[in-house]
């Protein structure tokens, strides 16, 4: 029997490595899950365990202030960030330095925009949520590109939102279909899940071409399916999305913040993405 040459062995190894990958990489940082991958075992493709003393800027960017309801107090100020003991602390604080920034509150958040995005797969975030009047910690996803136009046409996936002192989290989808066409019940676009807010919990999403399955501590809590015979804007979830994790304060939904409750934190232990 003829022995395989080293070059042939290398070629076979590279072919096997490519076949085993659960994704196709589009551009420098978008991971698109291969067809029918949801029927196979999950493989970890991206993670941050926050073991470094500094934010990994190859993966994350601090969220700057913006004009959205949730972004009024976003900042890159170091006072709203800390990484200690393998965890990142995203803080909402009362601003005591009004000379450099006139806003009464400041909040910390990170996102992967322009650095990591994925289409289909599973994401889990292990974190603890502190409570305060006006607190609005969130873990969510937005489209990396404007495939269908401006917001909300590309959709929004809210893996987890928590408000004030509640003992539940909200898991929701938003899109042109739900916001502009007001189709929030065909199918239902969100649900809630009770949780132990004194403990670390794992908030998750399993995303396939035909449904979004929201999870809490590994258990299914809400499903948003793709359905037929409705406006095509019902399913903009066929493109890469990036991740946002932020400790928001105030907004039309949560009301005003109470300075007596501050500072407040979202403590993130790890983030893991599988395909």
Point out the catalytic residue in the list 161, 206, 228, 250.
161
Q: Which residues contact 83 (CB under 8 A, 6 or more apart)?
A: 50, 52, 53, 54, 55, 89
Is 220 a residue of the active site?
no
Is 102 a residue of the active site?
no
Point out the catalytic residue in the list 124, 130, 156, 206.
156
Active site residue ranges: 156, 161
């Amino acid at each position: 029997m003829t022995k395989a040459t080293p070059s042939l062995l290398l070629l076979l190894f590279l072919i096997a490595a490519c076949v085993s990958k659960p994704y196709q990489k589009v551009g420098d940082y978008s991971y698109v899950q291969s067809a029918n991958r949801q029927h196979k075992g999950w493989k970890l493709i991206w993670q941050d365990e926050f073991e470094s003393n500094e934010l990994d800027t190859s993966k994350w960017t601090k969220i700057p202030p913006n004009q959205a309801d949730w972004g009024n107090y976003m900042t890159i100020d170091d006072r709203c960030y800390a990484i200690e003991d393998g965890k990142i602390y995203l803080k909402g604080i009362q601003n005591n330095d009004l000379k450099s920034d006139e806003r009464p509150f400041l909040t910390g958040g990170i996102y992967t925009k322009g650095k990591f995005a994925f289409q289909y797969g599973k994401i889990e975030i292990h974190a603890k949520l502190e409570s305060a009047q006006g607190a609005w910690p969130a873990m969510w996803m937005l489209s990396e590109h404007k495939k269908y136009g401006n917001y909300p046409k590309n959709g929004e996936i809210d893996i987890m939102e928590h408000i004030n002192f509640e003992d539940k989290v909200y898991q929701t989808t938003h899109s042109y279909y739900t916001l502009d066409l007001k189709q929030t019940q065909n199918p239902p676009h969100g649900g809630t899940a009770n949780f132990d807010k004194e403990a670390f919990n794992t908030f998750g999403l399993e995303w396939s071409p035909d449904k979004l399955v929201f999870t809490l501590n590994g258990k299914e809590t809400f499903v948003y399916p793709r359905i037929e015979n409705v406006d095509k804007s019902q399913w903009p979830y066929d493109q890469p999305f990036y991740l946002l994790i932020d400790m928001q304060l105030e907004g039309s939904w949560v009301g005003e913040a109470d300075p007596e409750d501050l500072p407040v934190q979202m403590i993130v232990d790890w983030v893991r993405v599988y395909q």
